[in-house]
Amino acid sequence: MNIPRFVSPALRLASVAGALAMVGAPAYALDLWGTGTLASSTLTVLNDLEVRYWQVPERLEGFEDRNVLNYVEQVNRINLLLSKPGLSIGLQVDQVALFANRYYLDDELFHERVLYDPNQIISPWDDALVVSEKMFLTKSWDGVEVTVGDVYGSFGRGIALNIVKNTDIDVDTSLRGARVKVSSGDIDITALSGLTNVQQISQDNPNQGIERGVADMVSGMQIAHYGLGPFQGTAHGAMFTFGRVEDQDREAIGRYDQAVDAASAGVGLTLLGAAGVDWYVEGDIIRYFAAELADGDEDGLLGHAVYGSASAYPGKTTVFVEAKHTVDTERLNLFTAGENYEVASVPTLEYERVITEDGSAAINSNDVSGVRVRVDYAANPGVFVPYLAVTGLRDRDLGGLHFNQSPETVVHPVGGLQWFEGERVVQLNTGFRQDRRDDTAAGSDRLAHLDGELHVPVGHGNAIELALGVKSFWWGNNPAQQADFLEMENALVWHHGEQWQFVLYQDWSNNPLVTSDGNLGEQLYGALEVKYEPRSNTEMRLFYGAYKAGIRCSGGQCRQLPGFEGARFAWTSRF
């Protein structure tokens, strides 16, 4: 057997990256277009380049002493925006290339990993891909705004429709179609329709096996009436036709010919300052027509949700209360969950930053009722504000992500403070969550957590920042019994002047559901990062080390993020 020979397509593929990055080079906000239609337009370019050297723990069988499977991933994202009064044109182009992704073994060429599915996506390169992810044109006249291309929609409190970009977890699904917004006096009418367009190339996650996905059709409308004294009202509705796996090879536009799978409708009412309280209440119904969504019931299924919030500001205290009751709402996302996005989402009432694999079940529950109360006391407004919050949830759903086979009651008190004094910053949050099952033999799951940030100036333009995150989780008894675990995500930062930051990261986890291994020990991860900001429009980061895999929840969506070991260079610039 011959030893494996590496095949590096780096130089060939560098032309792709180079060409794209060149586009992101000197482009200024200039009067670019003379006296033509686009006179006085402004062109803005945001370029984000990232190169990652992945150290892969797996070894090629028979060659355990060689890092054959290590590779380099390079991702570039360019956002171009042309704007002038009354007109905006935007384009997002993403490009990814894998370097050192092939090797010869016994003179046979092997690919270590497949970047994309060639049956669905066409690219002239095996290990590189360029995608025009998003594009839009917005034209506005007095009181009318029309956008064609990629649009987003978020009605009421998101229960009937919530298609938005979730920057936090690198999920960006838009509707490729059109949106019209008409504003006349105190009335705003928004209508939109399009086919879902899932962002193909990921900036934060490894790009492998990229598929085109199956587009879904979403159409919706909202009418909002303001200025009715202290009242504001909205009425909204949306309808959905979801693509199935067997629709993969059909034209996406065909979704408009298919039967509607589900429809949602609701009304929301805002009342400002009544008895010193700001009120909001919303009710929605969701009708499921498709058999897959209605548990096979030919007559369909009706889900509903009620959400309300109230906030009051007596003296130095702010009291915020929100509550919800949902029945069969989350199943609206049944078809899209596999593609990591949701078309609608009920407010979670939760402190999402600490949600675990188990806790995410209540966030994404079909049938859940709950209330959250948060009280902030502004001892020194804007400077020192401690708070206490308690969330109580009754989760009746037993399907989907639920580990348990019994309804449960979740109680989650959280307390914390913010102290912003000059350049000194302290932010602390800590809490304890208990998921108590009705079946007492199944026990309860418990989670204790603490996260915080401390930033202290130390003179001569230097500052020290400490960020802490600790979670400890104890499982009850259930068929999917896992071991208890402890997780930590900490960072120590030295800010040197306005331009430099030096960061030391440390993660620790013995969570059996975490799929990565530490680089400093089986459970211990460490990394160094240098950040350089030569100008306010440019940032460069160089990272070496590892961080752990784990679940991350944001905006009512949870995503498993893989761990990383290796080196990474990121460069963001804006012109």
Which of 104, 313, 432, 474: binder of other proteins (CB under 8 A)?
Answer: 313
**Structure token digits, residue 46:** 């945001």
Distance, in Å, from the CA atom of 515 to the CA atom of 322, rounded to the nearest integer, reads 36
Among positions 61-80, residues that touch other proteins (CB under 8 A) are 67-68, 70-72, 74, 77, 79
Determine if 36 is a binding residue for other proteins (CB under 8 A). no
Tokens of 165: 């970009």
Q: Which of positions 396-435 make contact with other proteins (CB under 8 A)?
A: 418, 420, 423-425, 427
Does residue 151 contact residue 136 with C-beta atoms inside 8 Å?
A: yes
Footprint of other proteins on residues 523-562 (CB under 8 A)?
534-539, 554-556
Q: Which of residues 237-266 bind other proteins (CB under 8 A)?
A: none
CA distances from 465 to 421, 427, 457, 504 (A): 14, 11, 9, 10
3-state secondary structure of 307: strand
Ramachandran angles phi, psi of 204, nearest 5°: -100, -20
> Exposed e or buried b for every residue in 140-159, given b needs 16+ CB within 10 A?
eeeeebebbbbbbbbbbbbb
Of the pair 53, 289, the CB lying nearest other proteins is at: 53
For other proteins, give the closer residue by CB, 205 or 477: 205
Stretch 155-174: interaction string toward other proteins, x if CB under 8 A: xxxx---x-xx-xx------
Residues 110-129 that bind other proteins (CB under 8 A): none
Minimum CB distance to other proteins, residue 151 (Å): 8
- Least distance between other proteins and beta carbon 89 (Å): 9
8 Å CB contact between 124 and 159? no
Helix, strand, or coil here: 391? strand
For other proteins, the binding residues in 446-465 under the rule CB under 8 A are: 453, 455, 457, 461, 463
Q: How many residues bind other proteins (CB under 8 A)?
A: 122
26 belongs to the binding site for other proteins (CB under 8 A):
yes
What the block records as the tokens of 486 is: 């402890």
Q: Which of residues 193-222 bind other proteins (CB under 8 A)?
A: none
Residues 338-367 that bind other proteins (CB under 8 A): 345-348, 352
Instruction: Give which of 526, 523, 514 is closest to 356, Cα–Cα.
Output: 514
Piece in contact with other proteins (CB under 8 A), picked from 181-189, 363-371, 398-406, 476-484 = 181-189
Are the C-beta atoms of 217 and 249 separated by less than 8 Å? no
DSSP code of 243?
P
By CB under 8 A, what part of segment 76-105 binds other proteins?
A: 77, 79, 81, 83-88, 90, 92, 99-100
Provide the mask over 489-528, with x wherever binding to other proteins is found by CB under 8 A and - wherever it is not. Answer: ------x--x--x---------------------------
Asked if 305 touches other proteins (CB under 8 A), the answer is: no
- For the stretch 171-194, what's the b/e string if a residue is b when 16 or more beta carbons lie within 10 angstroms of its beta carbon? bbbbbbbbbbbebeeeebebebbb
Mention every residue, 6+ apart, whose C-beta is less than 8 A from residue 392: 370, 371, 372, 409, 410, 411, 412
Binding to other proteins in span 130-149, by CB under 8 A: 134, 136, 138, 140, 143, 145
Closer residue to other proteins (CB): 121 or 491 = 491
Question: What minimum distance in Å lies between the beta carbon of 81 and other proteins?
Answer: 6
**What residues pair up with 506 in beta bridges, in sequence order?**
490, 526
564 touches other proteins (CB under 8 A): no
Q: Is 44 in the site for other proteins (CB under 8 A)?
A: yes
